[in-house]
Chain A
């Protein structure tokens, strides 16, 4: 699946929710279910520190695709991270560099990316692009 078809799939999934709390319930479930990161990567080296919550992000290149794993100490943030990983993980650096993230806006979670939320998500998205650039440079 392309990155965009995964984004569209998530938008479709969220279209059934009429209420905010339902969205949050879903994100909480996602956050609970997903074992997102190996404990050995849950250290300061991989930490993106927000004012509100912490995010850990790890990336490795496997057979030309980047595999992202991540975690957060706050569960709603973790749920959103789960979605972001689902979108970007297992794609080539070039695909990740070329694709714009739009699903967060479309499912009404853009406020979570505002700098004032300071939950580490915005920094995490920047970091994902940085990893893609770095791996691409390495491949060349």
Chain B
């Protein structure tokens, strides 16, 4: 299969990612672990280098020129993210360390402000541990109840069951947009609408969605939408919490420190306005700027092109891998993002992962931080290939051959 894309020049795009030229175990790297983290284009790497080489200084407090420049660059990145997800205001974009911290920030502050004994929070069976454990902690502390939307065997949420779970007691519905293990794209528009009809707040975990599909938070009308920079071609250690202005204003601060205050005295401290109220301490300035450049990069290719091409890769990979005897695809939802989880006969996924690593192919194996989902499906884990727009059908061919070889060795 040739490296072709009708959507953009794939060879040109691949040349933008220096790591794609490296070898692993003497073989050209085939990177299919994009669900864990994506690779970084030169533009992002250069921006980080450039910040530390020419702009480095602390932001929001210096009168000197460097500090002004750094502040402008960081705030410009916030604006880029705002436009990228179509938030109404740029101060609705809070920079965090990543999706996990964004969820914890809301869990911690939401608990204080809105959650009472006997209240309920709804999540789903396919959540990542980071969208389970913070709510377990919160429910334990506030004597609230955690409810879980079940799934069918294909890996789709049972919306009718969700309708039965939700009630006036439900204070928050926190659901993943795209399953990191199964690739399922959840009908979040409908989920949010039902939550609203019942007076519940909504949080959407967009870590696996933002890198691959167009997000419009105003159209979705969710209260919170969270995601990570490093899965969308930006640096690690920077993430985003989008929240509606009115709700963020109602929440208490998360961490105390510099930058989040207006005035401090030992009698009374007043807090800064959004977004700074939630950004105590010196943020990951270079990370924010790098994320802004990653957004530019995605915009240049076009998110619609990225989505269409990745769908093509998924369809091709699914067809090709089915040629292997004994293959079982885990996650067969009607609407899927570029995630292909599988098992072959009785082979252990980690054995497959270890062998194909020696053939240059990087995939993820294990429970993918979704143990409750694995228990529901009655499997210990899966082997997971997750695709990005810089991957090719030729790479998929090599990957399928490598899996075949591993299966033969293990048979």
- Residues of A whose CB lies within 8 Å of any CB of B are 20-21, 24-25, 28, 51-54, 73-77, 119
> B410 at interface (Cβ–Cβ under 8 A)?
yes
Sort A-B residue pairs by CB-CB distance and give the 10 closest, nearest first.
A74-B348, A52-B350, A20-B358, A74-B350, A53-B350, A76-B351, A52-B366, A74-B351, A75-B351, A76-B354
Bound form: Cα–Cα A51–B409 in Å: 23
Whether B365 is near chain A, meaning CB under 8 Å from some CB there, is: yes
Which residues of A have CB within 8 Å of B25?
20
Contact B348 A25 (CB under 8 A): no
Taking a contact as CB atoms closer than 8 A, the residue among B348, B358, B359, B410 that contacts A53 in the complex is B348
**CB of A133, distance to nearest CB on chain B (Å):** 30
Tally of B interface residues using CB under 8 Å = 16
Say how far B15's CB is from chain A's closest CB, in angstroms. 29
Number of A-B pairs whose CB atoms are under 8 Å? Answer: 38
Query: How far is it, in angstroms, between the C-alpha of A20 and the C-alpha of B402 when the chains are bound?
Result: 14
B234 contacts partner chain A, Cβ-Cβ < 8 Å: no
B381 interface hit (Cβ, 8 Å) = yes
* CB contact under 8 A between A51 and B355, given known A73-B348, A74-B348, A77-B350: no
CA distance A40 to B310 in the complex (A): 48
> 0/1 per residue, B18-55, Cβ < 8 Å to A?
00000001000000000000000000000000000000
Q: With an 8 A cutoff between CB atoms, is B177 at the interface?
A: no
- Across the interface, name the chain A residue whose C-beta is closest to B358: A20
Central interface residue in B351, B355, B365, B409, by most chain A CB within 10 Å: B351
A52 to B351, CA, bound (A): 10
In the complex, what distance in Å separates the CA atom of A28 from the CA atom of B348? 12
Does A28 contact B409, Cβ atoms closer than 8 Å? yes
Which residue from B350, B355, B365 sits with its C-beta under 8 Å from A21? B355
Specify the chain B residue showing the minimal Cβ separation from A23: B358
B133 to chain A, nearest CB (A): 16
**A contact residues around B348 at 8 Å (CB):** 53, 73-75
List 29 contacting pairs A-B, 8 Å CB cutoff, sorted by A.
A20-B358, A21-B355, A21-B358, A21-B359, A21-B409, A24-B354, A24-B355, A24-B358, A24-B409, A28-B351, A28-B409, A51-B367, A52-B350, A52-B365, A52-B366, A52-B381, A53-B348, A53-B350, A73-B380, A74-B350, A74-B351, A75-B347, A75-B351, A75-B410, A76-B350, A76-B351, A76-B354, A76-B355, A119-B350
A32–B409 alpha-carbon span in the complex (Å)? 11
**Which A residues lie within 8 Å of B381 (CB)?**
52
In the complex, A74 Cα to B355 Cα: how many Å?
A: 12
Q: How far is the CB of A3 from chain B (nearest CB, A)?
A: 27
- Once bound together, how far apart are the Cα atoms of A53 and B367, in whole Å? 10
Could you tell me the distance in whole angstroms from the C-beta of B337 to the nearest C-beta in chain A?
Answer: 24
Contacts beyond the supplied A75-B348, A75-B410: 12 A-B pairs with Cβ under 8 Å: A20-B25, A20-B358, A21-B359, A24-B355, A24-B409, A28-B351, A28-B409, A51-B367, A74-B351, A76-B350, A76-B354, A77-B350
Q: How far is the CA of A54 from the CA of B409 in the complex (A)?
A: 21
Complex CA distance for A51 and B350, rounded to whole angstroms = 10
Say how far B346's CB is from chain A's closest CB, in angstroms: 10
Chain B 218-257 interface 0/1 with A at a Cβ cutoff of 8 Å (1 = within): 0000000000000000000000000000000000000000
How far is it, in angstroms, between the C-alpha of A52 and the C-alpha of B350 when the chains are bound? 6
Note all chain B residues with C-beta closer than 8 A to A53: 348, 350
- Distance in angstroms between the alpha carbons of A77 and B367 in the assembled complex: 17
- Docked-complex contact B350 and A28, CB < 8 angstroms: no
Smallest Cβ-Cβ distance to B367: which chain A residue: A51
